[in-house]
Amino acid sequence: MPLSIHAFIRSVWRSRLKVMFFIGILLGFLLTTPTVNAINQNSTPNAGVYQFSVGDFKVATISDGLLKLPPLPTYAPLADPQEVEQAMVERFWSPDTLSLYFNALYVDTGTHHVLIDTGAGTELGTGLAKLAQNLAAIGIQSQDIDTVIITHAHPDHIGGIVATNGQLTFPNARYYISEAEWQFWMAPTVDLSSLLVPDPFKQGILASARKHLGAIASQVNLFQPDQEIIPGIVAIAAPGHTPGQSALKIESGGSQLIVAADVFFNEAFDLEHPDWQTGFDLNPQQAAETRRRLLNQVADERIMVMAYHMPFPALGHIRSQNAAPDTTNHIRYEWEPILWQFES
Ligand SMILES: [Zn+2]
């Protein structure tokens, strides 16, 4: 006659085997229960690529990584430190850490495989140089890129041109940069005295520009403001941060995207306080004028914006506040990030 479960446990409890019995139960439990550590070891990081469309163009934000650095003095050198701290705390950011995202843009126009800016490469330390691996995640290899458009020649945008082996990372590409930008960095003397950053850093910026631009001298095309660089991508003059910085308008099938480059960096500083300059703006007054002009345009025309240093995937719209004509100098702007889509 079969024993009931209660009778079985009772009989074991009375027997000399009870210790062995409960050790067996405990071992079975430990061996069959997955631990939290095992789950974490098998997980993957969050995505570094975000695919979407602009009309018929297939487009993707490609992260090159994230740099965390103190906001002062570099990113608001002339602002009241208490106001800077307040602006960061209001956004639930740590007041001593500014997160600077690095985002390139990949555009498949159907004819061209385009990369807009190349990431920092190894110019700016660890945590970066993730562009190639994130491109590969959507099936694009470096040799597939046939067009590289450079918004401006700061190391965080051109540092990926020359690889660590000294070869071009994108060997099959034509390179496009504004003539004003090329002439500035390749002139016999380059005056960076107005940058509010330490001298060694200025020297590093110049050396980086010479190295990476010099490497593409035989395969570069220089463009002018308002010129269509390739079909569907038009240059917009955006001087101030650098003399020849270019924003871009991407247009296909009635849809538009403005690539803002470094016209603004983050919402707490440049959008809420568009006159706080960064230490990297070569001509701060001109940079502030460019910032207001472009922000007013995309706010008025409700055009989607991609901005290199905004939080990944760096896509959103701009709203302006207090836009009455007589208070132009007091307009502040808000960043409205796009809603994440799972299908591109
Ligand atoms: Zn930048």
Tokens describing residue 101: 């995202």
- For ion ligand 1, residues whose CB falls within 5 Å: 156, 262
Write down the pLDDT at residue 73.
81
Cα-to-centroid distance, 100 and ligand 1 (Å): 9
Write down the pLDDT at residue 1.
45
Q: In what order do the strands lie in the sheet with 49-54?
A: 49-54, 57-69, 98-108, 113-116, 147-149, 174-178, 220-223
The Cα 310–Cα 65 span in angstroms is 12
Q: Determine phi and psi for 30, rounding to 5 degrees.
A: -65, -40
**Closest to 151 in 3D by CA, of 91, 236, 68, 65:** 236
Tokens describing residue 118: 């190349």
- pLDDT (tens place) for every residue of the chain, 344 residues total: 445 556 655 665 566 555 555 555 555 555 555 555 555 666 678 999 999 999 999 999 999 999 998 888 888 888 899 999 999 999 999 999 999 999 999 999 999 999 999 999 988 877 899 999 999 999 999 999 999 999 999 999 999 999 999 999 999 999 999 999 999 999 999 999 999 999 999 999 999 999 999 999 999 999 999 999 999 999 999 999 999 999 999 999 999 999 999 999 988 888 988 778 889 999 999 999 999 999 999 999 999 999 999 999 999 999 998 645 554 556 889 999 999 999 87
Tokens describing residue 164: 């660590």
Cα-to-centroid distance, 120 and ligand 1 (Å): 9
Cα-to-centroid distance, 75 and ligand 1 (Å): 12
Write down the pLDDT at residue 8.
54
Cα-to-centroid distance, 308 and ligand 1 (Å): 7
Tokens describing residue 64: 């090159």
* Helices 5-14 and 18-32, packing angle to 10 deg: 120
The Cα 304–Cα 318 span in angstroms is 8
Residues in the chain: 344
Cα-to-centroid distance, 115 and ligand 1 (Å): 15
Cα-to-centroid distance, 214 and ligand 1 (Å): 20
Write down the pLDDT at residue 41.
63
Domains of the chain, first to last:
5-40 (no CATH), 47-337 (3.60.15.10)
Cα-to-centroid distance, 87 and ligand 1 (Å): 21
250-254's contacts with Cβ under 8 Å and 24+ in sequence apart are 250/54, 250/57, 250/59, 250/107, 251/54, 251/55, 252/54, 252/55, 252/56, 252/57, 252/109, 253/54, 253/55, 253/56, 254/55
Cα-to-centroid distance, 309 and ligand 1 (Å): 6
